[in-house]
Amino acid sequence: MLMMLTGTLRAEREARVAASVAGRVDKMHVARGAQVKAGQVLAELDSSSASLSAAEAQKASQTAKVQRELAKKDCERAQQLFEAGAISKSDYDARKAQCDNAELGVEAAGIRTAIGAKMIKDASIRAPFAGTVESRDTEVGEFLLPGSRVATIVAIDKLRLEVVVPEAQLARVSVGTSLSFRVAAYKERSFSAQVTVIGATVRPGTRDVLVEATVDNADGALKPGMFTTVEIVTAEEPAPCVPLSALVKRGDASHVFVVVDGRAHERIVKLGPERAGSVAIVRGLAAGDRVVDAPPEALKNGAPVAEGG
C-alpha cells in the first residue's frame, strides 16, 4: 500500500558560531559558501590586551611562588620558636596564616594565568565541525561582544528528512521503514531514505506526528529547506519491481511496455522506491506481468515483440 506524504529537508548539523570573548575582528579567513574542516580558524580577534593580561598574570604567578617560599621558611622558623617556647601560640598562628595565604596566592595567580591563556585561545574562533559556511555575519574592524555571531556552519553530507505522518497512518511507519521522495529541482530523480526517529507525541493542532529519516547527500544535490513529496510503500501489498532501464519517460509520466500475447502494450505506471537498479511499481502493473527491458525508441503500442524481448 502506498502512502503519499510531504516533508522538508533539514541540515544534519547547523551551528551559529559566536565569539566567546570581546574584541575587535582582526582577520576573517572564510567567505560565504566556503568549505571548512573541524577546528579550522574562521576569524581572529585582536588579542593584544589578552596577551598583556596573560603576561601580567604569569609574572604575578612567579612573584606568588617566591612569596610562598619565603613564607614557608618563616613558618618553619616560627614553628621552631614556638616549640622552644620563644613565641606565643597567637604569634605562631598568625605566621601560619601567612603561610596559608601565600599558598592561596599561588593558586589564585595560576587561575589568572589560565584565564589569560584561554582568552588568547578564544580570540581564534574555530569551526566546530566540517561543513559549509552558510553565512558570514561579521567583518574586519567590527567589535564583538561575547555571544556575537561570527558565521553559520551547516553540514549537508547527510540530511534529515522531516515527514508529517497523520495520526491514523502512524501504525504503518516504524524505525527502519524505507521511503522514497522527490524534489522540484530534480523531477526525474528519486531519492531514498530510511526512518530513524518517530516523534514521541501527536501534535494537538494538526493530529500528526513528525517522523525523521536519514538521507545520504554525498553529491550535495539536496539542500536544507527543500520541500519534498514522499512515498512510503508498506508491506501490506507487495509491489512488483522492474529494471530502471524498462522505464520510458514521457513528460512527467513514467511508462512501461507490457508483453501480452506477443505484443507490446504501453502503460502509465506510478513509481515507488528505487533500490539496486530496480524500481517498485505501485500502480499500473500486476505481479507476473512481463515488461520489455530497454525498449527501443521505435517501439509502438501494439507492436509485435519477439519471444524474450
What's the CA gap between 126 and 36, in Å, rounded? Answer: 10
Number of domains in the chain: 4
What's the CA gap between 302 and 299, in Å, rounded? Answer: 9
- For residues 97 and 186, state if they share a domain: no
| pLDDT tens-digit map of 75-130 | 888 888 878 888 888 887 888 888 888 888 888 888 888 888 888 889 999 999 99
- For residues 196 and 70, state if they share a domain: no
pLDDT category of residue 148 using cuts at 50, 70 and 90: very high
Q: Which helix (H) or strand (E) holds 27?
A: strand 23-28
The domain containing residue 214 runs over which residues?
A: 2-10+158-233
CB 187 within 8 A of CB 198: no
- For residues 19 and 148, state if they share a domain: yes
CATH of the domain at 275: 2.40.420.20
pLDDT at 152: 95
Mean per-residue pLDDT over the chain, rounded: 88
pLDDT at 278: 87
Tell which of 122, 144, 173 closes a domain: 122
CATH of the domain at 195: 2.40.30.170
pLDDT category of residue 233 using cuts at 50, 70 and 90: low
- For residues 172 and 292, state if they share a domain: no
Residue 239 has pLDDT above 70, yes or no: yes
What's the CA gap between 80 and 73, in Å, rounded? Answer: 11
- For residues 19 and 77, state if they share a domain: no
Residue 34: which of 172, 167, 132 has the closest Cα? 132
What's the CA gap between 91 and 232, in Å, rounded? Answer: 85
- For residues 199 and 247, state if they share a domain: no
User: Helix, strand or coil for residue 55?
Assistant: helix
* DSSP states along 163-221: EEEEGGGGGG--TT-EEEEEEGGGTT--EEEEEEEE-SS-BTTTTEEEEEEEEE-TT--
Tell which of 133, 153, 173 closes a domain: 153
What's the CA gap between 258 and 265, in Å, rounded? Answer: 5
Residue 131 bridge partners (DSSP)? 36
Tell which of 211, 233, 255 closes a domain: 233
- For residues 84 and 37, state if they share a domain: no
pLDDT at 39: 94
- For residues 134 and 179, state if they share a domain: no
| pLDDT tens-digit map of 253-299 | 899 999 998 899 999 998 877 777 888 888 889 888 999 999 998 88
CATH of the domain at 62: 1.10.287
- For residues 64 and 186, state if they share a domain: no
- For residues 52 and 144, state if they share a domain: no
- For residues 169 and 213, state if they share a domain: yes
CATH of the domain at 143: 2.40.50.100
- For residues 33 and 143, state if they share a domain: yes
Average pLDDT over every residue of 228-233 = 85
pLDDT at 309: 46
